[in-house]
Structure 1
Amino acid sequence: MSLNPGIASSFNETKTRSHTLSPQSGMCSFCTADCPGTCEIGLSAVLGAQSVYPTTTGNNQIASEKDYPLDYSHFNINGRVFGAQGVPAGTDQAAIFNVRLERTLGRRHPVKIALPVILPALLKMNWQDYFAGAAMAGVCCVIGEGSPSKDPALQMRNGKIAEFPYLNEIMDAFRRYYRGYGQIVPQANFEEDGQGLPEYAVSRCGAEAIEFKFGQSAKGTQPVTRLKDYDAALKKKATGALVHPDPEDPAVRAAAERGEAPNFYAYGRLPMWDEEYLVTRIGMLRDMGLKNVYFKMAGFDPVDIERVLRIAASAEVDVVTFDGAGGGSGYSPCKMMNEWGLPTVPLENTVCGIARRLRREGLELPSMVITGGFATEDQVFKALALGAPGFQAVGLCRAAMAAANSAKKVGELIEAGNIPAYLQKYGDSKETLFADLPDLRHLYGKEAENFPAGAIGVFSYLNRIAMGLRHFAALNRKFDVSLLGPDDLIPLTPEAAKLLAGR
């Protein structure tokens, strides 16, 4: 059976005409000359190179459409009926609400999280509530790459960031609600590191942590943006960006003067870090006051995964997040989201094998987080169990943003007096509809009633994850999530059974 999702996609609102597709190509098995070109090939015939990227990006989220042959649905969750681990084996102590979810990430300056979850890097859509909700729930969150480009007040001097006031505004979305758990972490890709974003974040914004980005599940390369015209290409190159073709090339300039200029593209530089640079760089930032260092790594070649873990051990990095294939937020090439990298289950298993070998060598490894396609508590439980003891947390990215967006919309509808019919049976006001608002009021006082609806939504969604995890852990008589392991999983397919047998 083909795993190919075909050449029609919500990425660009394309569709195939025929009900029957050719399994290998994904094209209609019957392709007629009369078709106006509704599929990806037809769109490509019009948009050309632009159709490599989604046309439905912007204020939307986009992720892989490929059905990978092994995922967490290929496991069920085990259950036990005798005894208790983590608490005394008594009926009062061995209770769901005594399941300990709190974890600690990091080495030099450990960071407590209230549940084994982080919100990975984003800076689009309703990021304000995404970060605020993370603080309320007591988990870490990461500011996505490209943040300087979103600040109209950004000032650069000699290729370095001189003024970036927007960063403080972004960080305040979390800091305003910080309650002793979690951390907000600005992310720096290769170019932003060269522009001095880490130094600026630490010295001017009080950032305590930085995440260095090697890659993510949907985007192993940096994005390519088509520029409007020759003048735009010149301006973009003047900022230090890579532009193709070079607008200052005499032949290209002459072509532009004749009205024959080609398309121009700006594109991001690929990371070219190595051990020596990163160890030195991290040491310098720590001398400035940086407390915690994070790495973001995708499902690259296992040799690269091992090298990143060795660098992390050498530099005493606190957290490495591994992002499995299938993710994406809209700025990744369409086929890269579907077709590259290790999917989340194989990635987690590969990392666990490498980590066991490195520990036998005596290396002290960082805390590890797995992300890539998680939305519900059963998936989180399975990932924690499969990845134990190396993985301490699971990243919930698109799902947490969906909660932020949905709750914000509900809040707007409440204010407009237009509560959706499906919600009316639960209440008729913010106070009665948002069921976990009493928990926020208990944490923050009565001012919680004025918290943004979107942030309350993220808190409530993560509260659901926490409650579900407690149920599954108690089902296995394990009253601390640090006790979870592969023995808490039941394989449902031969591939899943083979994977567990290797653990």
Structure 2
Amino acid sequence: MSYSPKLSSGFTFSKNRSTFISPQSGMCSFCTQDCTGTCEIAQAAVLGAQTVYPTTTGTNQIASEKDYPIDFSHFNINGRVFGALGAKETQEEANIFNVNLERTYGTFNPVKIAMPVILPALIKLNWQDYFAGAAMAGVTCVIGEHGRNNDPNLRVENGKVTDYPLLEKALDCFRKYDRGYGQIVLQSNVDDDLMGVPKIAIEKYGVTAIEIKFGQAAKGTQPVIRVKNIEAALKRQRLGDVVIPDPCDPVVQKAYEDRVCPNFYTYSRLPLWNERSLITHITALRDLGAKNIYFKMAGYDRKDIERVLRIACEAKVDMVTFDGAGGGSGYSPSKMMNEWSLPTVCLEDAVVRICDQLRAEKFCPPAIIMTGGFASEDQVFKGLAYGDGHVLGIGLCRASMAAAMTGKTIGDQIKNKNVPERFKPYGSTIEEIFCDLPDLRALYGTVANEFSTGAIGVFSYLNKIAFGLKHFAALNRKFNLDLLDKTDLIPLTSEARALMANEWFLPIEK
């Protein structure tokens, strides 16, 4: 059998014409010259290098379509019937409403979150409600890299950003609803650093936390984007992007005039940190006023994972988010999203074992977040339990953005007197249909009735995750999430048992 998708994908709206597929290649087993061109090969024959990347970005999200041979579905959740840990053993206190979901992290500046969840980096689609909903739910959220490229009012002088209005708007989305939980973080990649984004973010806009990005499971290398003409290429170059070929080169300009110039591409620089340069960079950020430092790391080679964690320990980084294969939201290569990186549960296994080793060596690992394909409360619980006390929370990115988008769309339909059929039994107004509005009013007062329904959607979705977590924790008679561990999981398959027994990562013979 093959775990990889066929040469058809929601990434590109491509499809195989035949129902008979060659498992190894993903091609139709019977390929004919009469085909009008529906599969990925046909698209590549016309669109070329562009088809390495999804052609359906913009108002959409993208995720892996690969059926990985192991994931959290290979585990069931355990249950217990005696005792109560983390609460008094009385029927009045040992109930789901007394499960403590709050967590605190941070080396120099403690940050409290209302539940063990963060919203990882995004700055696309309905980011306004994504950040607002995070504040309402009391969780940390992250503004994505390259946000400056989305700002039509960005100002750059002498190669440095001097005005970044979009950043202020993103920060305000969270700050407006900040209730003392969570933090809004700015992710910064190499290009952002070179353009002086962290400096202006901290000094001009009051950013208190920076996330340094190594990679994500959807995007192990940085994106390449085709630029239509030399004018656009010159503009991107002025804004700090690498453009290949160089549109300022007279030879390239002459080739463009003669209509023999190859495509222009912008390319985001790869991070090339080492221990010394990274710690120097972190020190500089703290000297500027950053109170918290985060890392974003993907499922790279396990030696790289350990190296990043050791640097995080030495630099006293507050949090590292590990992103496993199966997730994805951004502008990422299609095959990369399917075919690279450790699946999330395997990545978590590696991270947890490295953290065990670091603690044995008397190091203090940072707060660990796992993300990559999580969407429901059972998955979140399993991710926390598998963390064996090392994993502080789970990142819910695509799912939270889906809540932001659908919450807004459904709210607009209700306002326009076009209530979707499935919600008509609940009423005809936003106040009647959005069932968790009373919980928001309890936090903010009746002004919550006027909140954006996209943000209400994020809050409600996360409220559902929290409520479900409480049920699973109480099922295991654990009323504080610090008590969760692998004994709360039941491996269902040989792959799951091998992973838990540290037999999955077999040494490779050379």
Q: TM-score range by the shorter chain?
A: over 0.9
Alignment coverage as a number of residue pairs: 503
Residues of 2 paired with 1:19 and 1:365: CA distance? Answer: 50
Residues of 2 paired with 1:116 and 1:47: CA distance? Answer: 43
- What corresponds to 1:451 in structure 2? 451
CA contact (8 A) 1:144 1:186 kept: yes
Alignment of structure 1 residues 418-429 onto 2, 5 Å? 418-429=418-429
CA contact (8 A) 1:129 1:458 kept: yes
CA contact (8 A) 1:60 1:330 kept: no
Quote how far apart the aligned CAs of 1:251 are.
3.6
**Which whole-Å deviations, capped at 9, do the CAs of 1:124-149 have from their partners, x for residues lacking one?**
11111110000000000000111111
CA contact (8 A) 1:74 1:492 kept: yes
Residues of 1 paired with 2:39 and 2:207: CA distance? Answer: 46
- What corresponds to 2:336 in structure 1? 336
- Rate the CA distance shift 1:388–1:47 in 2: closer, same or farther, 3 A: same
- Counterpart of 1:212, as a letter, is I
- What corresponds to 1:61 in structure 2? 61
- What corresponds to 1:5 in structure 2? 5
Residues of 2 paired with 1:118 and 1:130: CA distance? Answer: 11
1:244 aligns with 2:244: yes
- Counterpart of 1:255, as a letter, is A
Quote how far apart the aligned CAs of 1:361 are.
1.4
Quote how far apart the aligned CAs of 1:325 are.
0.8
CA contact (8 A) 2:203 2:288 kept: yes
The SS at the match of 1:21 is coil
- What corresponds to 2:150 in structure 1? 150
Quote how far apart the aligned CAs of 1:442 are.
0.7
- What corresponds to 1:170 in structure 2? 170
- What corresponds to 2:487 in structure 1? 487
- Counterpart of 1:119, as a letter, is L
Residues of 1 paired with 2:394 and 2:201: CA distance? Answer: 26
Alignment of structure 1 residues 91-102 onto 2, 5 Å? 91-102=91-102
Q: Percent identity between the aligned chains?
A: 61
- What corresponds to 1:393 in structure 2? 393
1:319 aligns with 2:319: yes
Quote how far apart the aligned CAs of 1:330 are.
4.1
- What corresponds to 1:16 in structure 2? 16
- What corresponds to 2:49 in structure 1? 49
- What corresponds to 2:187 in structure 1? 187
Quote how far apart the aligned CAs of 1:240 are.
3.2
Residues of 1 paired with 2:497 and 2:429: CA distance? Answer: 49
Provide the alpha-carbon RMSD of the alignment.
Answer: 1.2
- What corresponds to 1:124 in structure 2? 124
Quote how far apart the aligned CAs of 1:185 are.
0.4
Residues of 1 paired with 2:248 and 2:125: CA distance? Answer: 36
Quote how far apart the aligned CAs of 1:20 are.
1.3
Which segment drifts farther, 339-348 or 278-287? 278-287
CA contact (8 A) 1:84 1:478 kept: yes
CA contact (8 A) 2:224 2:265 kept: yes
Quote how far apart the aligned CAs of 1:250 are.
4.4
Residues of 2 paired with 1:63 and 1:108: CA distance? Answer: 35
Alignment of structure 1 residues 351-430 onto 2, 5 Å? 351-430=351-430
- What corresponds to 2:348 in structure 1? 348
- Counterpart of 2:481, as a letter, is V
Residues of 1 paired with 2:129 and 2:483: CA distance? Answer: 32
Residues of 2 paired with 1:316 and 1:228: CA distance? Answer: 44
The SS at the match of 1:215 is coil
CA contact (8 A) 2:159 2:238 kept: no
The SS at the match of 1:470 is helix
- What corresponds to 1:82 in structure 2? 82
1:196 aligns with 2:191: no
The SS at the match of 1:198 is helix
Quote how far apart the aligned CAs of 1:294 are.
0.5
CA contact (8 A) 2:328 2:373 kept: no
Residues of 2 paired with 1:314 and 1:128: CA distance? Answer: 35
CA contact (8 A) 1:113 1:140 kept: yes
**Which whole-Å deviations, capped at 9, do the CAs of 1:57-108 have from their partners, x for residues lacking one?**
1011110000000000000000000111001111111111010000012211
- Counterpart of 1:210, as a letter, is I
Structure 1 unaligned segments of length 5 or more: list them. Answer: none
Residues of 1 paired with 2:240 and 2:139: CA distance? Answer: 36
Alignment of structure 1 residues 204-215 onto 2, 5 Å? 204-215=204-215
Structure 2 unaligned segments of length 5 or more: list them. Answer: 504-510
**Which whole-Å deviations, capped at 9, do the CAs of 1:211-231 have from their partners, x for residues lacking one?**
011101110111111111233
**Runs of 4+ displaced beyond 6 Å:** none
CA contact (8 A) 2:195 2:240 kept: no
Alignment of structure 1 residues 458-497 onto 2, 5 Å? 458-497=458-497
Residues of 2 paired with 1:436 and 1:502: CA distance? Answer: 42
The SS at the match of 2:454 is helix
1:38 aligns with 2:74: no
Quote how far apart the aligned CAs of 1:241 are.
2.1
Residues of 2 paired with 1:211 and 1:148: CA distance? Answer: 15
TM-score by length of 1: 0.98
- Rate the CA distance shift 1:35–1:487 in 2: closer, same or farther, 3 A: same
- Counterpart of 2:139, as a letter, is V
Which segment drifts farther, 357-366 or 345-354? 357-366
- Counterpart of 2:469, as a letter, is L
Alignment of structure 1 residues 130-145 onto 2, 5 Å? 130-145=130-145
- Rate the CA distance shift 1:418–1:257 in 2: closer, same or farther, 3 A: closer
